[in-house]
Amino acid sequence: MKRNAMAVVFLLLVFGVKDIFAQNPLIMDQFTADPTARVFEGKIYVYPSHDIPARPGKGRAGWFVMEDYHVFSSENLTDWTDHGVIVSQNKVDWVDSTMFNMWAPDCIYRNGKYYFYFPAGAKDKTRRGGIGVAIADKPYGPFIPESKPMDGIGGIDPNIFIDKDGQAYIIVAMGRISIAKLKDNMLELADKPVVIENLPTVGLKEGPFLFERNGIYYLTYPHVENKTERLEYATSNNPMGPYKFTGVIMDEFPSGCWTNHQSIVEYKGQWYLFYHHNDLSPNFDKNRSIRADSLFFNSDGTIKKVIPTLRGVGITDASKKIQIDRYSLKSNSGATIDFVNPDTLKRWEGWKTILSSSDAWVQYNSVDFGSKKFTTVNVNAFSKSGSILQVKLENANGPIVAQIEIPAGNDWKNIKAPVSMLKQGIHNLVVSLKDNKPVEIDWISFE
């Protein structure tokens, strides 16, 4: 244990690398938005933008404030590694470091190099938003920024697509969505950008992300059809179009979070939608957090609508802290979720599950009990009145594998109880209340 802890401290000090474990949102120690997910070197890499709260002299209060980019990677979509800052507004020659508008980026691999594209405010005020490129030998950097922004193109949310024939394209948003061919050097335009027609003309469109599957080119983008952004897509048989509006990938958030921003990627045979929501900042939607959910296609190639979940993707190891507040299902009544610590500055501590009536339950899918023999369940809980929890497998009517008595008290307690009849392999976990005495649960794990 000690050696592991020292290794983590060493990695943090030397490389800024940090391990994070999460469901949705994926990253729990900073705000992240606009995720572009890519598969590089057999892992998922996510290049998000990085919201920070405005401070005196740092950004505009009430607006997006972004000064740098981190990159995160994962092999299993559950454990994420933060590789630290890869590009910062203070270290790019042409960027005005008072602007704090490093909005949605992208990264692509070509001829042995990784090209990271980002929008930013230029010192040269004759340019509006510039598109910068930084180049690295590895997906996590170090990225060396070019000394000037790309010529002939501006706007926000650059997205890069390389077709099967090797032709690369850059797509950007500036009210409308435009596309241009790139030269092989990935730094210059081969042609002037052209506006992509036939997309909805009323309501803001931004955040383009183009991908191809079975000969269909999917141009995905957030669009304000009503009050806030929803994720839509148009399809074509050519990256340049003409495109035809095809459908909605994700509806507007009921919470009112104004933006959403997507990327779609296939990893180990499953397609995923990466997007964002203001989970960690419910009262201010410009401090967002990235999420992922599985995405499925119909047989005609259309995309099935993705319903956002808290559970997200990835399998959770039974011996880790299982955050059941990121539930897959919950009872119709008696089960609620809240921050562990309501203090705005302590939301990073995550959420808790509150069970308050008999038969209240939450179900958390895909827990890996592996081939180990677990004998004990460990729960971090708190109950003023004292309470009894039941742990079941598969669903609310599934077999009871443990019963845990939570003693009455005014503090969080770590309580252990024996488990029986626990099956090996991957199972859904259900935690339910036996009687009407309320209990709050932070996490549960198995030993």
> What residues make contact with ligand FUB under the rule CB under 6 A?
33-34, 49, 64, 103-104, 156-157, 206-207, 259, 261
User: Which CB sits closer to ligand FUB, 259 or 263?
Assistant: 259
Question: Measured from the CB of residue 432, what is the shortest distance to ligand FUB in angstroms?
Answer: 38
CA atoms lying within 13 Å on the CB side of residue 147: 0
Please check whether residue 236 is in contact with residue 171, taking contact to mean a CB–CB distance below 8 angstroms.
Answer: no
Please report how close the Cβ of residue 99 comes to ligand FUB at its closest, in angstroms. 13
The answer to whether the CB of 363 falls within 8 A of the CB of 428 is: yes
For 108, 228, 236, 343, the CA distances from 214, given in Å and listed in that order, are 21, 31, 12, 49
- Residue whose CB is less far from ligand FUB, 104 or 199: 104
For the question of residue 359 being annotated catalytic, the response is: no
Active site residue 67: no
Q: Are 121 and 103 in contact (CB under 8 A)?
A: no
Q: Which of 51, 206, 279, 293 is catalytic?
A: 206
Residue nearest to ligand FUB (CB): 103
Other C-beta atoms lying within 10 Å of the C-beta of residue 400 = 15
Provide the CB-side half-sphere exposure for 392 (13 A, CA).
18
Q: Closer to ligand FUB by CB, 37 or 322: give it.
A: 37
Q: Least distance in Å: CB of 107 to ligand FUB?
A: 15
* 3-state DSSP percent of the chain in helix, strand and coil, to 5: 5, 45, 50
CB of 206: closest distance to ligand FUB in angstroms?
Answer: 4
Q: Give the residue with the Cβ less far from ligand FUB, 248 or 329.
A: 248
Four-point Cα dihedral 111, 45, 237, 216, nearest 10: 130
Name the residue among 294, 290, 271 with its Cα closest to residue 281: 290
Which among 194, 157, 161 has a CA at the least distance from the CA of 172? Answer: 157
Query: Is the CB of 286 or the CB of 330 nearer to ligand FUB?
Result: 286
The CB-of-33 to ligand FUB minimum distance in angstroms stands at 5
Return the SS3 of 108: strand
Catalytic residue positions, numbered: 34, 206
